Structure 1
Amino acid sequence: MVHGEFGEVGVLHPGAMGAGVAAQAVAAGASVRWLPQGRGAATRQRAERLGLKPAASVGELAATCDLVLSVCPPAAALSVAEQVAAAGFRGVYVDANAVSPERMADIGEVFEGTGTTLVDGGITGPPPREAGSTRLYLSGEETAVARVSALFDGTLLTPFPLPGPVGRASALKLSFAAYNKISYALAAHACALADGHGVLDDLLDLAAQALPGTPLAGTGRLASAGPRAWRWEPEMREIARASREVGAPAAFAEAAAETFARWEHHKDDETVTGARLVADLREGRAGPDARPAGE
């Protein structure tokens, strides 16, 4: 029997993180479906490699699955929920996207009166590849949360149920990201400032001694933000929205979103350098002709 007593599990969509989540559901013994329609070649290859079963439509996925996990860019979270609800889904729906509690309330309205149980999910860490690196926080209806948690018990995606309603997991996820990811934007800004005044090497030497292990300790560390900036930019918008909900300043997140927007053309490019990212900021625009710092 599959942990959590789920039969078919649907994952929308198996990008880098979604594929990692799907892999852990497979490891738990679940039969996992996905929706190939409109997805790119890289996504198809990941799904095939994991042995995911294709669904011909959202309707087929909704009819055959009793658990659907949504793992997509934040801007698409509401649209994906609407598609699943319109298809007549009646199981447990986990929205595991980096959205604000207010956005989760919007998603809750989509499923209101449909017979679907909404669980709020927040993923922290990289795509799960080793024990202890990635957590799945869950909040909402207690029985549904317990079932989803049981599915992933013992996998590389460690479940952490939170007592309380939908919205709590999202709030925790965004609060952590507000510190963790904005720190990359702040480090990039400091490097751009230092580079403009000719003291970048001195700044990196100082940071390596005073702040080891941080994005400021070397442009090699900073570089990891480039391929992910296209996903981080909308996440910053959600953080800004969540900040305004509680009266906290939203300017930090908005500024980080502006920074990450300048790096969006580096999507999934693992070869981009920290110098390249610093140059993008100094040029005041993103583009292939921006000159890397020090070149």
Structure 2
Amino acid sequence: MEHRDVGILHPGAMGARVAAQAVTTGAAVWWLPQGRSAASRERARAYGLRSAAGIRELAATCEVVLSVCPPAAALDVAGQVAAAGFRGVYVDANAVSPERMAEITGVFEGGAVTVVDGGITGPPPREPGRTRLYLSGDDTAVARVWALFDGTALTPVALAGPVGRASALKLSFAAYNKISYAVAAHACALADGHGVLDDLLELAQLMLPGTPLAELEHLAAAGPRAWRWGPEMSEIAQACRGVGAPSGFAEAAAATFGRWEAHKDDPAVTGQRLIADLVQGSSSST
């Protein structure tokens, strides 16, 4: 199997699982352990990632670099890679707007870097068929990235067209999928305030089973992720404005997720707590 060196910046819960898929296809995947948490270090060890001494070593070693980070950090990460003198294929797989992707591409302008636009949909890849990596941009570079994940739990899908298309698809899906959690929480807060929350849940279980409105446990899943989803909503709002569509839904969702930032990575937070945070205007955990 052909040996390939790939860099991943920075492997959190999603990024580590993405990196693990490339390892299964024979790639040597490098990361930067400096300043990262014990949980990140343990994930990297478990998935067979290799430690680079710094960004310059990673840039010099790798032919492909994937950025999988919170959207607010995407432009800064691209700048760090460019400053390190990277020459290869740079994949921005973050939840950013097409406008932000244009900025990221501009960071590498005039250099020896080909930018590929990536959009991940679904949970961290563990089993085939649930998580996709959409790719757009230069055909040769897209094919190179596609080959890294072919046959893994992360299904690569090439989109015809330029950089920006994968991000547009990712955000369009998130605009429905993730804003639905904010809408469900607001409906529950309204019902709770009028003493009919149990009745609303019973009605939703009958009419809308399997949705965040029907199950408080389902709604609770938004709490630990809200710190990432809030900035993603801001990217969606920017993308909406770019095509002349109303941005108010995404902006309101960003404000809602902002109420839940204190629950970052807390698997114990309950749906009832998230509803209370909306009513009280507080994000304090109990």
Q: TM-score range by the shorter chain?
A: over 0.9
* Match runs of 1:69-84 below 5 Å: 69-84=66-81
Match of 1:56 in 2: 53
The match for 1:292 is none
Q: CA RMSD in A?
A: 0.8
AA aligned opposite 2:60: A
CA distance in 2, matches of 1:7, 1:219: 44
Aligned with residue 100 of structure 2, among 100, 103, 108: 103
Look up the match of 1:16: 13
The 2-side partners of 1:227 and 1:41 are apart by 18
Q: Secondary structure at the match of 2:22?
A: helix
> Aligned-pair distance for 1:48?
1.1
Matches within 5 A, 1:261-280: 261-280=258-277
**SS in structure 2 at match of 1:23:** helix
5+ residue gaps, structure 1: 290-295
The more displaced of 145-154 and 158-167 is: 145-154
Residue 85 (str. 1) matches residue 82 (str. 2): yes
State the match for 1:257 in structure 2: 254
SS in 2 for 1:159: strand
Structure 1 segments of 4 or more deviating over 4 A?
none
Deviations 1:222-277 (A, max 9, x none): 00000100100000000000000000010000000001011111111111110010
Structure 2: segments with no counterpart, 5+ residues: none
Q: TM-score, normalised by structure 1?
A: 0.96
Q: Which residue of 2 aligns with 1:238?
A: 235
| Match of residue 4 from structure 2 | 7
2:167 is aligned with what amino acid? S
What is the distance in 1 between the residues matched to 2:285 and 2:176? 29
Using the alignment, how far apart are the partners of 2:253 and 2:18 within structure 1? 27
1:222 is matched with 219
Identity %: 75
Q: For residue 123 of structure 2, what is the aligned residue in structure 1?
A: 126
- Counterpart residue number, 1:199: 196
Match of 1:293 in 2: none
Aligned-residue offset at 1:136: 0.1
Alignment of 1:149-168 (within 5 A): 149-168=146-165
Deviation at 1:288, TM superposition (A): 3.1
Partner of residue 110, structure 2: 113
For these two proteins, the number of residue pairs brought into alignment is 286
- Contact 2:116/2:163 (CA < 8 Å) preserved in 1? yes
